[in-house]
A and B are shown apart, each in its own frame.
Chain A
Amino acid sequence: MGPADAFRADGPSVTIAMPVRNGSDFLARAIDSALAQTYPNVEIIVVDDGSDDGGATAAIARGYGDRIRFIQQENQGVSGALNTVLREMTGEYFSWLSHDDVFEPNKTAVQIAHLSRAGSPPETVLFSDYLLVDAADDVISTERFDRKSLLAHPWLAFHDGMINGCTILAPRDLMLACGGFSEEYPCTQDYRAWWILVRRARLLHVPVPLVRIRHHPGQGSRSRAALAENEAFWMSVLDETDDVEATLLDGSRERFLRRSARFLRFRSPNARAADEALRRAKAAHRDAGVSVILDLHGRAEWAERSIVSIGRQRRLPDQIVMLGGREDVSPALQALLAGLDLDVVWTGTIDEGEIARVRAGLLVASGSYIAFLRAGDTYDPAKIAEQVEAMSIHGCLISHTSYEDPTGSVVPAGCFSGRVYPEILGGTHLEFSTVMIHRVLWASGQLFCERDAPPRATWVDACSRHELLGIDAPLSSIMSVPETDDAALLSWAKSHPRHQPHGRDLARLETRASRERAVS
């Protein structure tokens, strides 16, 4: 490959970065594999990062003449060498080949083809499976990653350690926008870069082994200092992964921490970080923030009993969001709220219907878990503790419980659980005061989106996309059965084509709606 001006115009240009320091043992094989790429539009930059081997490394690189670009610099570490390439490269895409690893001849071609198949979207980082080889080039194993898991959870690529730096292909501009490689961390610079990249880029897994990664004695990344840096890095990942990210990955922070512990203990040498993840997992459901949204609408005079039941919780919520204005309740009730020593937020009076009210509440709800309560209804003292714990263990985003009706009888709604769509269209509906959600549902734009829809429609929508966790214990008491809105739900369901295939459930809903009309 000639210098940059010899780049051919077919397909995006790719630069292969090859940092090396005292690497005369394997460097030639690595450069040969880069030169053997079947993809034509490739630039190769070898950076000699301050080798002190009497010129052996430099001599090998110089032997390739102008087929590669060769840069020599004072020792700055792998990050420094990679950053030099990022500054110097002319290719649109960056890829990295360690001096002791080997690209398969079709590595670049397959990745560019995969990118092209996906429509060449911007800000996309590709990574692939790889082979592990020994010093003699014999294959030790093939690292193939689970395509189905990665399809549903692309961030697992980072969190389960699937990204090997030499398998990536990333846009140069994106790498630069993310700050390149941190030179403070000589051993974790790559994973620190992926950590930033995965939070802003699209990830695309190429399910083909495209690189041979060499395991041989004396690799720097196995030293004690490297292990300590690694451990500190993964601890910071545990710290910085927020609830929403953890929940999108694994259903709850607790499950994220347990999976991380398995990864850190069994698939990477980070036992201390694994212990820490497990310790945090055990406390995760107790540490999770909880908000209660209390709807005062039309029943503000009954709010006291609801607030008292909140105050008696075995595990108090962190926040109460009052759907209404202070002026709606008595000074005594305000004093009662102040006495609870909780964060209380008022949305003010909103007269646009339940959807608008609840949306306003959700906007200010800060908890990871959000419970709903209608004024006059009450919670069992175990409600918040048990429901949060169950959701955290099962990794469910929406749950409800059995409840006591106005006559004191238990309605065993909690047995309605699992994949309840499309049955939920014509059958059991979720009582507002029994429902708890994870805020991810709200952040995903899946709740209370349609202002004119009947409120129950939002639970139908949520359950059509997620498993419902039903809890058998009656953890709420309902003061009065709210007016049914089967006719409105039927009209809403009929207006949405996605519900049309479920004729049997719509017919059941129609029967209920007819009965409702007859009664009224």
Chain B
Amino acid sequence: MNKALARAAGFLRHRFLTSAQGSADTAATLRQRVERLEAELDEASRLIGELRAACERESEARLSAEAMASLAISDRLLAIRMNEELLREVQRLSRLLDEQASQRPSGRSHAPAPGER
């Protein structure tokens, strides 16, 4: 929640507390208080609407970020699996080369491993 909205929430709490006091007033002052409360209710509704919209925006942003992170992690896992399959294939081919080399009557005594010169 940003600072402006935090201030708005504080304002609402404060207004609620100060409006609730003074039950022994006269009819005129009570009318005034009712009018003021109605005005404040409108203001409070407006602020609550803003707070709700901010919450929804933040929730939306969080869901988006989570969805993107989840996909990135899925992609990483799939890439690791694929890399492992490639490594195993390299090893299989390397062994085949080794076997072929050992069957040759002359030449190298072993097949070049990946990276071998």
Contacts and interface: CB of A to CB of B under 8 A. Distances in A.
Contact of A444 (B64, B80, B116): B80
A interface: dominant SS: mixed
Interface of A: 114, 117-119, 121, 124, 147, 150-152, 154-155, 199-205, 242, 244-245, 248, 325-326, 345-351, 356-357, 359-360, 363-364, 366, 439-440, 442-445
B84 A348 contact: no
A363 B87 contact: yes
B77 A154 contact: yes
Nearest to A121: B71
Contact of B116 (A151, A202, A348): A348
A360 B67 contact: no
B54 interface: no
B81 interface: yes
Contact of B115 (A117, A201, A347): A347
A321 to B, nearest CB: 9
A442 B84 CA distance: 9
A152 B73 CA distance: 7
B75 A202 contact: yes
Nearest to B76: A444
Contacts of A154: 70, 73-74, 77
Given A347-B113, A350-B116, A440 B70 contact: no
A349 B117 contact: yes
A202 B78 contact: yes
Given A118-B67, A202-B71, A444-B80, A364 B117 contact: no
Interface in B58-108: 60, 63-64, 66-71, 73-78, 80-81, 83-84, 87, 90-91, 94
Given A244-B81, A443-B83, A205 B113 contact: no
Please provide the 7 A-B residue pairs with the shortest distance between their CB atoms, ordered closest to farther.
A360-B115, A348-B116, A118-B67, A202-B74, A443-B84, A363-B114, A117-B64
Contacts of A244: 80-81, 84
Contacts of A444: 76, 80, 83
A371 B114 CA distance: 19
Contacts of B74: 154, 201-204
Interface in B36-74: 60, 63-64, 66-71, 73-74
A76 to B, nearest CB: 32
B109 interface: yes
B112 interface: yes
A360 B83 contact: no
17 contacts: A117-B63, A118-B68, A118-B71, A119-B68, A119-B71, A121-B71, A151-B70, A155-B77, A248-B80, A326-B109, A347-B113, A350-B117, A363-B94, A363-B113, A364-B90, A443-B87, A445-B80
B33 interface: no
Contact of B73 (A151, A200, A348, A357): A151
Given A345-B113, A348-B116, A114 B73 contact: no
B110 interface: yes
Contacts of A345: 113
Most B CB contacts (10 A, CB to CB) among A119, A150, A363, A445 go to A363
A360 B87 CA distance: 11
A444 B74 CA distance: 13
A347 B112 CA distance: 7
A253 to B, nearest CB: 14
A311 B64 CA distance: 55
A364 B91 contact: yes
A124 B63 CA distance: 16
A245 B82 CA distance: 11
A360 B114 contact: yes
B81 A199 contact: yes
Nearest to B116: A348
A465 to B, nearest CB: 11
A150 B71 CA distance: 11
B81 A245 contact: yes
